[in-house]
Amino acid sequence: QVQLQESGPGLVKPSGTLSLTCVVSGDSITSTNWWTWVRQPPGKGLEWIGEIYHTGSINYNESLKNRLTISVDKSKNEFSLRLTSVTAADTAVYYCARDRVVRGVPPYFDPWGQGTLVIVSS
């Protein structure tokens, strides 16, 4: 059973850096899948942030790419998110998920981590 678990500070100061890690169990981070981040501001919808492949290939949401870094640590079977210069607009529940890649099948996100709330406030 594949499981993902996010971790990181729940409170970040404005203009600071938001850093989160997602630990993967039940699947290898070096499998054929991509590994993705999604966020959800309180009471709002889902926004895709970006994703990474174990080789280091990355796709970023254009609206965030200037502030965003996603990395992978194969030795720990985990991947991470770093978002700089945060503002209140970055307050959200942050989810990590597996971007399932199967030949001949459109990609989809499954499973998801439980999510972690990050509040940007002084």
Partner 1 sequence: DIQMTQSPSSLSASVGDRVTITCRASQTIKNYLNWYQQKPGKAPKLLIYGTSTLQSGVPSRFSGSGSGTDFTLTISSLQPEDFATYYCQQSYRTAMFTFGQGTKLEIK
**Which residues of the chain form contacts with partner 1 (CB under 8 A)?**
34, 36, 38, 45-48, 59, 61-62, 95, 99-100, 105-115
For residue 70, which amino acid is it?
I
Identify which of residues 17 and 47 has a Cβ nearer to partner 1 in the complex. 47
> Which residue is listed with tokens 């850096």?
17
- Tell me whether residue 25 or residue 108 sits nearer to partner 1 (CB atom): 108
Nearer residue to partner 1 within complex by CB, 16 or 109: 109
Tokens representing 50 are 């970006």
State in angstroms the smallest separation of the CB of 77 from partner 1.
Answer: 20
Measured CA to CA, the distance from residue 107 to residue 16 in angstroms comes to 33
Instruction: Name the one residue in this structure whose structure tokens are 């200037």.
Output: 66
In whole angstroms, the minimum distance from the beta carbon of 11 to partner 1 comes to 19
d(CA 101, CA 67): 27
Q: 38, 60 in Cβ contact below 8 A? A: no
Is the CB of 72 or the CB of 96 nearer to partner 1? 96
Rounded least distance, CB 13 to partner 1, Å: 26
